[in-house]
Structure 1
Amino acid sequence: MVKQLSIFVQNRSGKLAAATSVLRDNGVDIRALTIADTPDFGILRILVDDAAKAEQVLVDNSFIVQATDVVVVAVPDEKGGLAALLEPMAECGVNIEYMYSLISRDVKDAYMVFRVTDNAAFLAMLAEKGLKHVTPAELGLK
């Protein structure tokens, strides 16, 4: 599993820039991100090269941060590749809380990041179907 950071940011000009600037200024590389927002706030979800360092520097700079385990899955980058993963997930009852894509350099597969209700069931389904989850090391993450 991969460690994801969720950062609470106010939905005001400059707040997202402040979070990313803190990471940049401390040498943290953002590898994937998604943001869900409301009129008042957003949740910035990121994968970074060093989650522990990123979490600490964000907390030190007064950001509210939560670390969460997510599963990254290699999906064939072809028509129907995602459907071939989502169908067996539905069959075994794994519920997706959210998902987003991750682009990696020099690979032929697309990567999808999943937050699901049951990581163990999801990982078991992947193994049963011969699908590959991706390790932090394969993504260059600590």
Structure 2
Amino acid sequence: MKIQQISIFLENKSGRLADVTHTLYEAGLNMRALSLADTNEFGILRMIVDNPERAKEVLKAAGFTVNIASVIALEVPNSPGGLDNILQMFSQKGVNVEYMYAFASLCDDKAVLIIRIDNTDLGIQELQACGCTLLPQSKILK
């Protein structure tokens, strides 16, 4: 089960991140998860939002470079070894993790992992085969 993530290329200068969040706020769009990786000159902001197509539209209109990518969202135990089990399985199957980020739920003992891998379809197949709970976009946004 694939979900949609937006990625925004940002100049690494004061106020650019605030410009993104304000643009989304003005459009009535909600962010559920995000990750920011940067260098001295630029950054990549990755986000799960409630309407990726609309977010892409309003951000492009505001002058940002935006891309939508398919990622996987899955529940992992929020305990020692929860992430390791997933990564060991991927390693054994030859699946490369390009990047990931996670957020913990305060309501239960699970964390949600957002992961981008080199072979999404194979990754989904292997995760389902080992009984992992994959989450649809609608579940992430609750």
Partner residue, 1:95: 96
Partner residue, 2:126: 125
Counterparts of 1:33-52 in structure 2, within 5 Å, are 33-52=34-53
Which runs of 5 or more residues in structure 2 are unaligned?
none
CA shift, 1:76, in A, is: 0.9
Equivalent-residue separation in structure 2 for 1:111 and 1:29 (angstroms): 17
CA RMSD of aligned residues (A): 1.3
Equivalent-residue separation in structure 1 for 2:104 and 2:58 (angstroms): 25
Give CA-to-partner distance per residue, 1:30-86, whole Å, 9 cap, x none. 111111111111111111111111111101111100000000110011111111111
Equivalent-residue separation in structure 2 for 1:55 and 1:104 (angstroms): 27
The TM-score with structure 2 as length reference comes to: 0.94
> Are the equivalent residues in 2 in contact too, given 1:96–1:116 (CA < 8 A)?
yes
SS at the partner of 1:62?
Answer: coil
Q: Which amino acid aligns with 2:74?
A: V
Percentage of pairs with the same residue:
35
Equivalent-residue separation in structure 1 for 2:93 and 2:87 (angstroms): 10
Partner residue, 1:136: 137
CA shift, 1:107, in A, is: 4.0
Indicate the larger mover: 106-115 or 16-25. Answer: 106-115
Partner residue, 2:10: 9
Which runs of 5 or more residues in structure 1 are unaligned?
none
Q: Which amino acid aligns with 2:140?
A: L
Partner residue, 1:30: 31
Query: Closer, same or farther in 2 for the Cα pair 1:77/1:103, shift >3 Å?
Result: closer
- Equivalenced residues, count: 141
Equivalent-residue separation in structure 2 for 1:53 and 1:105 (angstroms): 29
SS at the partner of 1:79?
Answer: coil
Q: Which amino acid aligns with 1:56?
A: E
CA shift, 1:117, in A, is: 0.1
Equivalent-residue separation in structure 1 for 2:22 and 2:91 (angstroms): 39
